[in-house]
Structure 1
């Protein structure tokens, strides 16, 4: 049973006083539990529209989207919203943090819609998630007191705090420098592996795309699989060799954060000593 499936999905809009514009055309894509997919496309190729389809934000003009093999069109708007909140986590290029709220309060926000024990333990769950991403010492910090990398880690913690089954990352490193971006992607990959979540990364960066196991190209609304040896998944060793200092430091910081929470099985032997400050700036 697939987690999410798009079959012959088309999205057409009709601008005022203009002919109909087809943004997506006959898109077929199946995402299984634990899958890791990258979608590469230029600006204007339909990436944002496709993300809205994958995130159940919009319905197609034609074709079918299913979640757990059930057609999404059979859900009411309210039920679709609840499904999205419980099962899908979004990581955006812009961090979208609430400026007047601490890191802990930002990560707690999605849990306000939970029920039962999860609702009453929401602050503890949020604090544990921030610890996982290496920000256990920054719980009370406001966004404007955090670096760009730290803000993205808060955004990642917020997207994962409800244990989503599908992570949608939209240009997740676009607002970060190379060093920080690579360590942030390591973190997303490791947490997704640990939780068994499927991951879809939409990007224009081939280096980020290579991290996935399956690759697609979106061009003029048409999605096609890419069978290109240059896009074979990068191992952590590959990434360290590509950018030695950035990857070694990023991998060490990620491994330390995971090991501290008892996730030592996700850690890899470090080739360099870990930095004294595990927070990526």
Structure 2
């Protein structure tokens, strides 16, 4: 059973007084537990739109998305929200931390929507996750007292605290220096490996993309398999079909 499956997915937006704009064209992609996938694309290639669809934040105009072999179109909005909260973790270039809250309070936030033991044990779970990312000594620090690398580690802890099966990383090292970025990616890889989660990294950085085991390029809204493709490949495209 695949974790997430996209088949023939397109995304078109209406524009006032202009023709509709198609951002994604016929995307096919299968994501299984433990996968390490990179998607590289230039600005304007459709990376953010693809991320929103993978994360169930947006719906395709045509095509099919299935999570655990269930067609997302058959799920209620509330069910999709619950799936997103429990199954998918987001790591963004901008850390999006709550400025007036401590590191511990930031990481606890997703657990406010959990149920049962995860809700009642939210503080101890958040503490353990911050320890795991090396910030056990910074529990009471607010974002303005943390370095960029520390803020990103808090954001990572927050995204992983509910044990998601799919981690979506959108330019996760874009706001970090090279050394810190490498350390952060190693940490994300380690946590994903320990939990068996799939990791999809959307980036413009070939070095970050090279860490994956399956590589794709997004060119003008079309997904191509292979890390070495150039824009010239768009002349004779072979749309990626997941193994």
Same fold (TM > 0.5): yes
Structure 2 unmatched runs, 5+: 230-243
Indicate yes or no: 2:85 matched with 1:99: no
2:7–2:29: 8 Å Cα contact kept in structure 1? yes
In the TM superposition, 1:261-280 aligns within 5 A as none
Deviation, structure 1 residue 228? 4.1
- The residue number in structure 2 matching 1:176 is 176
- The residue number in structure 1 matching 2:200 is 200
Q: How far does the alpha carbon of each residue in 1:169-211 deviate from its partner, in whole angstroms, 9 at most, with x for none?
A: 0000000000100000000000000000000000000000000
| TM-score using structure 2 length | 0.93
Relative contact order higher in (CA < 8 Å, ≥ 6 apart) = 2
- The residue number in structure 2 matching 1:13 is 13
* Distance (Å, rounded) in 1 between the aligned partners of 2:154 and 2:228: 34
* Distance (Å, rounded) in 1 between the aligned partners of 2:210 and 2:95: 23
Instruction: Find the residue that maps to 2:164 and give its secondary structure.
Output: coil
| TM-score using structure 1 length | 0.81
Consecutive aligned runs of 4 or more in structure 1 exceeding 6 Å deviation: none
- The residue number in structure 2 matching 1:274 is none
Structure 1 unmatched runs, 5+: 230-281
Deviation, structure 1 residue 17? 1.1
Q: Which has the higher strand share?
A: 2
- The residue number in structure 2 matching 1:138 is 138
- The residue number in structure 2 matching 1:126 is 126
In the TM superposition, 1:238-253 aligns within 5 A as none
Assess, with a 3 A threshold, how the Cα gap between structure 1 residues 228 and 74 changes in structure 2: closer, same or farther: same
Q: How far does the alpha carbon of each residue in 1:92-145 deviate from its partner, in whole angstroms, 9 at most, with x for none?
A: 000000000000000000000011111110000000000000000000000000
Deviation, structure 1 residue 227? 5.6
Indicate yes or no: 2:204 matched with 1:212: no
* Distance (Å, rounded) in 2 between the aligned partners of 1:162 and 1:129: 10
